[in-house]
Amino acid sequence: MIVNPTEKRKIAMVPSAVVCHLDESTLFEQQKGSAEKLEAMVKSKYPQLSYISQPMEDIFSKDFYSNPNFDKCFKNVPGGNSEHEYIVQLGQESTESTQITNGERLKTLFNNINKNTAKEDLYWNIKFAMLLTIAKREQCDYIFMADSSTRQAIKMISKISNGRGYSIPMDVGMEVDSCFKDVVILRPMKDMLAKEMGIYNRLHGIDHDVTTPFNFGTYNAPKSSIERLTEDFIVGLDRDFPSTVSTISRTASKLTPHSNIDYSKKCAICQM
């Protein structure tokens, strides 16, 4: 066999994998049964993979809510309001003293946040914090995110609009290996459009295995939040100018973290 020396050799980096599902059915009724559906699909089609389903309300359990500087982070936020204080209060209360379940605490938390933009940010930060904790618990070296090129373009513009432009290289990067100790974030599908994924699922007959996502922006008006408005803008623009998403994604891939970033200091909320 002749091997081209200039061609990179492909190495199997992931000998095994764990499918992790965060059950959001406590917040969204539309997600009821998703955990069971995905578990049955993994066992029947991918028996070589392990499967984990973690309820989102477990964020209040000792396994996840263990950062002693959590409340200090909120107290130091300029312009902090009662919403910041409320999440700290919920985290510090014990289930035994309040006689409510973690599911009720999770619902109460989001019900007491007025703005959809704030809800979406907290919602994603909770999910990401749980993924990091589960990955370390299961001794995983990598976390594969399913972000498409369309989602990456939306995320880039919405993050900048939210004042998080500095973290764009970590939020949308193909490979993030400097932010988190012992865990690398990979986004292998960042060059695929959401429409391409949908067509692939349909042509290969696996669209019935797909769980329809549902969150605080689903079915809401474009002006309900910054991310929802950005999504409507990007998708609408890409419909008439098909190179829009790919151009934004290529621009995002060129961004690198600032050289003065102190990686020893992390945000207690977004983990960045």
Give the per-residue pLDDT at 118: 86
Q: How confident is the model at residue 74 (pLDDT cuts 50, 70, 90)?
A: very low
Give per-residue pLDDT as tens, 151-171. 999 988 998 888 888 788 888
DSSP 70-111: HHHHHHTSTT--HHHHHHHHHHHS-HHHHT--HHHHHHHHHH
Secondary structure class of 144 (helix, strand, coil)? strand
Residue type, 245: V
Which tens digit of pLDDT belongs to each residue from 205-260? 887 778 888 888 888 888 888 989 999 999 999 888 888 898 888 888 888 777 77
pTM of the full predicted structure? 0.80
| 3 — pLDDT class (breaks 50, 70, 90) | very low
Average pLDDT, the chain: 80
- What is the per-residue pLDDT for 113? 84
- Whether residue 40 has pLDDT greater than 50: yes
